Amino acid sequence: MEMTENQTFTERFDLLGCIQCGRCTGGCPVTVRTNLNVRRFVYDAYNEELLEELARAAEIWDCTACHTCAVRCPKGLKPLEVLIGLRSLLVESGKTQPSVRDALESVFREGNPWEKPRATRSDWMEGLDVPIAQPDQPVENLFFVCCTIAYDPRVQVIAQNLVRLLKGAGVNYAFLGDDESCCGSEVFTLGEEGLFEMIVEDNTELLNGYQAERIVALSPHCFTTFRTRYPNLKKPVLHYTQLLAELLEQGKLAFKGGLAKKIVFHDPCYLGKQSGVFDEPRRLLKAVDGVELVEFDRSRERSLCCEGGGGKMWVESESKKERLAETRIRDARALGADIVAVACPFCVLTLEDAVKALGYEEEMRVVEIMELLGELEVDQDKTNPA
């Protein structure tokens, strides 16, 4: 590494600002199952001669980009981004795992990391009358469906149920359809900086080209990425739970029937820690008659990461210790919860896998909030037509 490159790395991540207090490592959820020590990486990365060696360390791929270290840092630094910077060095050298390489190539070619054809991005709409946005037609809410929701049959129901609910609530909205492409959240955390910059530029041009009052993202990953890494996006961005909570407050949304279940809400890292959205998902659950909402000991800012973020859907940890998602499900069982509710497609997949691995399928369900609300009808008699 050239000295100028090292200085850029040091300045970029403000390595000199670190006081080595260790709060980042102390709060890092994956330290219970891996050898990752983010404080040590921040310390060692100041030495230019160690950068290439650090980039080859397997532990840099254990980070889930949950942002706990950033929340805890007294200096306001983001230690996780040092690890992402090291990943970038490895990606530049072309020495990444095949699964990472394939995901990144798929985003470049097909606009999604799941190696699915771009032309089938809207297949989830089949049988539904979904309004598609046109650049010359004003729309109040422009919806952005994440790659995982668009392509994974398990979580397509999130988008499908949302369409049904929006119609019942009389919302002015449209979806992007086949013009939609990956937001780049996982591209960024996997360390492909050049591709991410290209995605941001293309998506910014696309989204700014619509006469939309705001963008509503279905996934916390898209939501947070648009909010924090798209500097030229001209429209405010909401998560769908914020929109629905707003409709509840305005009296435009109410539900028929009830659900006599004990539910615990799992705060997704990208929705909670990174974007501060804690209350809206809970308001939606409380709006359902009969629901008993309980809380994890580790909730809100302290929520335990499910290990779905940070590109971890494409990188398997070398650790054989219990996954954090399994720990989370054990905690839910100890609370006597019938349902673990989430508001993120990645959390659905990781936590549901954990339920299966632990053999709890008969006693517990993992559901996305939109999946749950979709099982109810919108009560037109209780809503204000205005």
Instruction: Give the domain range for residue 367.
Output: 254-378
Specify whether the CB–CB gap between 197 and 188 falls below 8 A: no
Specify whether the CB–CB gap between 89 and 56 falls below 8 A: no
- 190 and 323 in a single domain? The answer is no
Query: What pLDDT is recorded for position 5?
Result: 46
- 182 and 209 in a single domain? The answer is yes
Query: What pLDDT is recorded for position 384?
Result: 64
Residue 46 CB neighbours (<10 A): 16
- 106 and 243 in a single domain? The answer is yes
Q: How far apart are CA 64 and CA 331, in angstroms?
A: 20
Count up the domains in the chain and report the number: 3
Among 229, 247, 265, the domain-final residue is 247
Residue 361 counted as domain residue:
yes
Query: What pLDDT is recorded for position 12?
Result: 86
Query: What pLDDT is recorded for position 1?
Result: 29
- What confidence tens digit (pLDDT) does each residue in 191-231 have? 999 999 999 999 999 999 999 999 999 999 999 999 999 99
Residue 198 counted as domain residue:
yes
- 330 and 241 in a single domain? The answer is no
Q: Tokens standing for 326?
A: 């399994």
Q: What is the CATH number of the domain that holds 217?
A: 3.40.50
Query: What stretches in the chain show pLDDT beneath 70?
Result: 1-7, 379-386
Q: How far apart are CA 213 and CA 369, in angstroms?
A: 25
- 106 and 208 in a single domain? The answer is yes
Residue 303 counted as domain residue:
yes
Residue 330 counted as domain residue:
yes
191: left (phi over 0), alpha (psi -120 to 50) or beta: left
Q: How far apart are CA 39 and CA 21, in angstroms?
A: 8
Sign of CA dihedral 68, 236, 203, 114: positive
- 107 and 232 in a single domain? The answer is yes
Residue 385 counted as domain residue:
no
* DSSP per residue, 139-186: EEEEEE--HHHHH-TTTHHHHHHHHHHHHHHT--EEE-GGG-----HH
Among 48, 69, 95, the domain-final residue is 95
The H or E element that residue 342 is part of is strand 339-342
The H or E element that residue 116 is part of is none
Residue 351 counted as domain residue:
yes
- 373 and 290 in a single domain? The answer is yes
Closest CA to 63 of 37, 95, 99: 37
